[in-house]
Every structure is written in structure tokens, then in C-alpha cells.
């Protein structure tokens, strides 16, 4: 460190420690490494310079924040950092970095798999097989269909490229409107407008598949509700791999039951794990998965490798990777 002192690292974890975590404690540039769960975070934070949030979606730092008297860097083992964007953090000088890059391609492949599941009716084939029923059906083409990807960051871009490779046309919805984007072609503003055919309202009406891949911010919370769903085609499907709070579940259920859209694939939910009592389990045309769209074999090791690289940069006084624009909740430069 440039000030000549050895910093202390705190690792916030849940049931499991990061794989290969022993290398952190072995680093002579660190004074110490403390591994704590959420209920002990406040005790460990005083004097700590760096925090690695391995407890993926924990909001424990909010309550423990008054004890963070020396903190200068927080790294999240997730792409989304909404759990860290509380007012005290946003207004502070603490640098936040995330795990951008680890999940992009796995999530893109997962979304393509969901599109294929809908188009080729794989859920019905599975159910008929279990019932030993032979029922011939016709399925839909994927090529030539139109997808709207809400969220034009790295994950949204990977999704757009994957869907385009399957023969779909793709447009995006994001912060900056443009007409010649290399991955989306056209990007509309990611906010609902009802003053014409332009913008998100018009893009929803054009889409056969609406993919939600935007970060959770004040601007995106509840974005997909009745107004948005009413703009979609009755044959369209919704896919959410971002955060559950971007979709208003009660309003989505009403749309599904009324046949206003044809289906939804949900990997994220307002409350997780999804309660057994949730009607989404049995709602018509719904595919449920347990927040796993980016989790492929080896993903935990990739997360730790990324953090270890950033830790080297932090200890050497070099620029960190994946710095988040805290005012917007986005990675800087995207």
C-alpha cells in the first residue's frame, strides 16, 4: 500500500468459504484476513480496509455500516450490486467493484435455452414422457423471431449476440438511445412512454421475447408491470434473469391467467427461495428456476480468481477492475 501500512481484509461469507481462500491469509501484504458471517460483520469491520462480499446477496453491510471506519474498497461476488447501493455507501468514498464478466456468457446460453424451450415446447414433451403419452405437436421457429433485451450492459450484450447467432433479430433498451449499436442495432430508452410508437412501449409491442437483464435501480424497480405487459403481444414470452423486483409478480400472474402473454421464464423472484405457496409454481406457461442462470461448473473459482486479481491491484495501488458507478449502480464505462 502506498501509505506503508498493511491493510486488513474482511470476507463476509454464508455457509461456505470461498474456494482457495487460504491464499488470502498467506499474502504477506495483508495484516490479517477475518472470515465472518452476517451476524459478526459489525464486530469485524472497525479498522478493515477491504471487504469481500462472498455471501452473495447479503444486505448485512447496511446495518454494520457505522462500524466501517476505515473501509476503502468493497468487492461483490455478484454482477448486481443493488444490495450494496444504500445511501451511506453511495455517498461515501468507498470504491465498489463487482464480478462483471464471470456470468455473461453462461447467462446468454441460459436465455437461449429458455427461448428454445418455449419455441420447441420442451416442458410439454417432458410432462408427456413422464405420463408415457405419445402426442405429436408442431413447434415454432426461433430464426426470424424478434427479441427485446432490457439492459445493455455486458450481460445484455452477451444475450443479444447469442440470440442473434440463433437467427433472431434483437434490439435493446438501455440508458442511452442509439440507432447503430454493434450488438443491438437499435437501443431505445428503458422507460415506459405512451406518446407514440418509439421507445420502450413500441419495442415491447414488437417483441416475441422480452428478456430482462437490467440491474435493479430506482428506475428499473417494477418496470415490468401491467402497463408493460399490456403492450406485449399475446404470443410473446417474458424472460427475467436479472432481479425479481424488476417484475411485478401479481400483475404478471394476472396477465398470464388472462392470456395477455403466452408465458414467462423466471430465474429470479421478489422473494427467494420462491415460497411453496407461490402461485407462480403452477401458473400457465411459466418456467421456474432457482436463480441459477449464470452458475456453471467452476463459477465459484472464477469469482475468487477475479477477486484475487483485484486484491493484487488494491495492494499494489493499481487501478481496480469493474468499478461500479455508485450513483447509477452500473459498472463504469458501460
Domain locations in the chain as residue ranges: 8-102+297-331, 104-288
Q: Are 99 and 322 in contact (CB under 8 A)?
A: yes
CATH classification code of 104-288: 3.40.50.720
pLDDT at 329: 59
pLDDT at 60: 98
pLDDT at 198: 66
pLDDT at 246: 97
CATH topology agreement for domains 8-102+297-331 and 104-288: yes
Cβ neighbours of 270 (radius 10 Å): 16
pLDDT at 334: 36
Which active-site residues does the annotation give? 243, 272, 291
pLDDT at 331: 47
- pLDDT by residue, tens only, the chain of 334 residues: 444 589 999 999 999 999 999 999 999 999 999 999 999 999 999 999 999 999 999 999 999 999 999 999 999 999 999 999 999 999 999 999 999 999 999 999 999 999 999 999 999 999 999 999 999 999 999 999 999 999 999 999 999 999 999 999 999 999 999 999 999 999 999 986 644 446 999 999 999 999 999 999 999 999 999 999 999 999 999 999 999 999 999 999 999 999 999 999 999 999 999 999 999 999 999 999 999 999 999 999 999 999 999 999 999 999 999 999 998 755 443 3
pLDDT at 194: 47
Topology of the domain covering 8-102+297-331:
Rossmann fold (3.40.50)
Looking at the whole model, is its pTM more than 0.85?
yes
pLDDT at 195: 46
Amino acid at each position: 500500500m502506498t501509505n506503508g501500512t498493511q491493510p486488513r481484509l474482511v470476507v463476509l461469507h454464508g455457509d461456505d468459504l470461498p474456494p482457495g481462500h487460504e491464499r488470502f491469509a498467506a499474502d504477506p501484504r495483508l495484516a490479517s484476513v477475518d472470515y465472518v458471517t452476517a451476524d459478526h460483520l459489525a464486530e469485524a469491520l472497525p479498522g478493515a480496509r477491504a471487504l469481500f462480499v462472498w455471501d452473495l446477496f447479503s444486505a448485512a453491510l447496511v446495518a454494520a455500516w457505522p462500524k466501517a471506519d476505515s473501509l476503502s474498497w468493497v468487492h461483490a461476488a455478484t454482477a448486481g450490486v443493488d444490495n450494496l447501493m444504500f445511501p451511506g455507501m453511495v455517498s461515501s468514498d468507498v470504491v465498489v467493484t463487482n464480478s462483471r464478466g464471470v456470468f455473461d456468457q453462461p447467462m446468454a446460453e441460459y436465455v437461449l435455452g429458455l427461448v428454445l424451450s418455449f419455441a420447441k415446447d420442451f416442458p410439454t414433451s417432458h410432462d408427456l414422457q413422464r405420463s408415457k403419452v405419445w402426442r405429436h405437436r408442431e413447434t415454432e421457429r426461433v430464426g426470424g423471431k424478434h427479441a427485446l433485451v432490457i439492459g445493455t450492459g455486458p450481460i445484455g450484450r452477451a444475450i443479444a449476440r447469442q440470440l442473434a447467432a440463433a437467427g433472431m433479430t434483437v434490439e435493446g433498451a438501455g440508458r442511452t438511445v442509439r440507432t447503430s449499436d454493434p450488438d443491438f442495432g437499435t437501443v431505445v430508452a428503458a422507460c415506459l412512454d405512451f406518446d407514440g410508437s418509439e421507445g420502450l412501449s413500441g419495442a415491447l409491442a414488437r417483441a416475441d421475447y422480452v428478456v430482462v437483464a437490467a440491474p435493479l435501480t430506482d428506475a428499473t424497480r417494477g418496470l415490468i408491470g401491467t402497463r408493460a405487459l399490456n403492450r406485449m403481444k399475446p404470443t410473446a414470452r417474458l424472460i427475467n434473469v436479472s432481479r425479481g423486483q424488476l417484475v411485478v409478480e401479481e400483475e404478471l400472474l394476472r396477465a398470464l391467467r388472462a392470456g395477455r402473454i403466452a408465458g414467462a421464464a423466471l430465474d429470479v423472484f421478489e422473494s427467494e427461495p420462491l415460497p411453496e405457496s407461490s402461485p407462480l409454481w403452477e401458473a400457465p406457461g411459466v418456467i421456474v428456476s432457482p436463480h441459477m442462470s449464470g452458475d456453471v461448473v467452476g463459477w465459484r473459482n472464477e469469482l475468487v480468481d477475479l477477486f484475487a486479481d483485484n486484491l493484487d491491484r488494491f495492494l499494489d495501488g493499481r487501478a481496480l477492475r469493474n468499478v461500479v458507478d455508485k450513483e447509477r449502480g452500473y459498472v463504469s464505462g458501460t
